A and B are shown apart, each in its own frame.
Chain A
């Protein structure tokens, strides 16, 4: 018959102290290893992992974001200059014309006039682009 273990015995106390000590040492060891690991990660060069199936890395995405910001700023600048030029043009011509992006007008029929030989020089010449 097995004798049930009772709490408070000298042997149990010694066992508990030993176990607690070992646990503390284990934790200290774990923290130490983690610290060393963290240090080694900091010291080693970062390995870029692809963040997309097509192989784009975080750095690629950041570069794209910067390029898009630059593109957006360029477009804003263009629009400011265009509006300014439009206002100056109006002031010079005295026309009260609204400077804004116009909607495409509803389509009208074209009535081109074919010419066997053009009498006047063309302003443009189409070709395969």
Chain B
């Protein structure tokens, strides 16, 4: 049996704990180091918390016509548009203004420290309908602010896993704060990804065993990233309010990290997460407020 040991690198990026494992007979450490570099490049481009990021520049120039963007930012906006269309607007990256109003306009560590609890005037998110992508330019309508929060990590993991695998790694696992993408094979083994209850991180409620060559797994939850008592980071784009969800945690296994993240967001916003799993043909786990009431649906069976 092939007992290849992966090169693993752990680090902080994108406001969360990240881990990248690379399986390769040689140069695994080099590839893992390069994967980390790629995370940092994407963060510099996509972060809404860095004033110098390319996304911040694009948001600041909303309403001013087409802006030429880099390949990476173009990929992000294209993925956002596709995800918005694919979910009928349930996934909406234009909730940035509402998120800011609710107090999540700085890194989460600062959000907790500040504990912003001022009243918020509710407005529906403007949506992606007015966002135009043409060649290498993007046009944002006035008042639209893009927030990569519910797609950026999954998409970044997709890009990195694809590039590192293409360079010759036999297997790659990119974990950006729990949004996971796998590619290739972990030696002679299969991929196993555990799902835990956010309230009891040591309790594994399910393990996905993946035999496919590539997959993405993401979890959306209202149990983490909470502040000012009842506030959390899942915004209902239809109202601009903090979402009142039936499930408290949703995990999705999909063909890509971006899809997994987007569908998990749409599912947690839905009163019936299973209908969202079925609609997109993915496997998902929805955990109710009663932690014993988790269910699973394999849409392929």
A residues in contact (CB < 8 Å) with B: 52-54, 56, 63-64, 67-68, 71-72, 74-75, 78, 81-83, 85-86, 88-90, 92-93, 95, 97, 99-102, 104-105, 107-115, 117-118, 120-129
- CB < 8 Å neighbour of A54 from B60, B168, B206, B223: B60
**Which residues of the other chain, A, contact B221 by a CB distance below 8 angstroms?**
127-128
**Which residues of the other chain, A, contact B182 by a CB distance below 8 angstroms?**
123-124
CB of B61 within 8 A of CB of A93, answer: no
**Which residues of the other chain, B, contact A104 by a CB distance below 8 angstroms?**
158, 162, 214, 255-256
**Which residues of the other chain, A, contact B296 by a CB distance below 8 angstroms?**
114
- Asked if B196 is at the interface (CB within 8 A of a chain A CB), the reply is yes
- Asked if B106 is at the interface (CB within 8 A of a chain A CB), the reply is no
- Asked if B81 is at the interface (CB within 8 A of a chain A CB), the reply is no
Secondary structure type dominating chain A contacts:
loop
- Asked if B251 is at the interface (CB within 8 A of a chain A CB), the reply is yes
**Which residues of the other chain, A, contact B142 by a CB distance below 8 angstroms?**
53
CB of B27 within 8 A of CB of A75, answer: no
- CB < 8 Å neighbour of A68 from B70, B176, B249, B300: B70
- CB < 8 Å neighbour of A102 from B24, B166, B177, B217: B166
Of the candidates B38, B208, B223, B253, the one having the most CB atoms from chain A within 10 angstroms of its own CB is B208
A65 to chain B, nearest CB (A): 9
User: How far is it, in angstroms, between the C-alpha of A49 and the C-alpha of B26 when the chains are bound?
Assistant: 55
- Asked if B215 is at the interface (CB within 8 A of a chain A CB), the reply is yes
- CB < 8 Å neighbour of B180 from A78, A82, A92, A126: A126
CB-nearest residue of chain A relative to B216?
A126
- Asked if B278 is at the interface (CB within 8 A of a chain A CB), the reply is no
11 A/B residue pairs, CB under 8 Å, sorted by A: A68-B70, A74-B44, A89-B167, A112-B209, A113-B209, A122-B192, A125-B175, A125-B178, A125-B194, A126-B179, A128-B220
Q: Interface size of B by Cβ–Cβ distance < 8 Å?
A: 85
CB of A100 within 8 A of CB of B166, answer: yes
CB-nearest residue of chain B relative to A68?
B54
- Asked if B82 is at the interface (CB within 8 A of a chain A CB), the reply is no
User: How far is it, in angstroms, between the C-alpha of A46 and the C-alpha of B44 when the chains are bound?
Assistant: 31
CB of A108 within 8 A of CB of B165, answer: no
User: How far is it, in angstroms, between the C-alpha of A126 and the C-alpha of B201 when the chains are bound?
Assistant: 10
Given A88-B27, A120-B192, A128-B223, residue A53 in contact with residue B64 (CB < 8 A): yes
**Which residues of the other chain, B, contact A121 by a CB distance below 8 angstroms?**
192
- Asked if B286 is at the interface (CB within 8 A of a chain A CB), the reply is no
CB of B214 within 8 A of CB of A115, answer: no
A77 to chain B, nearest CB (A): 9
CB of B25 within 8 A of CB of A110, answer: no
Of the candidates B25, B176, B194, the one having the most CB atoms from chain A within 10 angstroms of its own CB is B194
CB of B162 within 8 A of CB of A101, answer: yes
Given A97-B168, A123-B193, A125-B178, residue A112 in contact with residue B72 (CB < 8 A): no
Given A121-B192, A126-B219, residue A112 in contact with residue B60 (CB < 8 A): no
Given A99-B168, A112-B208, A123-B191, residue A93 in contact with residue B26 (CB < 8 A): yes
Interface 0/1 of B218-236, CB less than 8 Å to A? 1111011100000000000
CB-nearest residue of chain A relative to B175?
A124
- CB < 8 Å neighbour of B16 from A99, A112, A129: A129
User: How far is it, in angstroms, between the C-alpha of A102 and the C-alpha of B161 when the chains are bound?
Assistant: 10
CB of B64 within 8 A of CB of A122, answer: no
User: How far is it, in angstroms, between the C-alpha of A95 and the C-alpha of B27 when the chains are bound?
Assistant: 14
CB of B34 within 8 A of CB of A111, answer: no
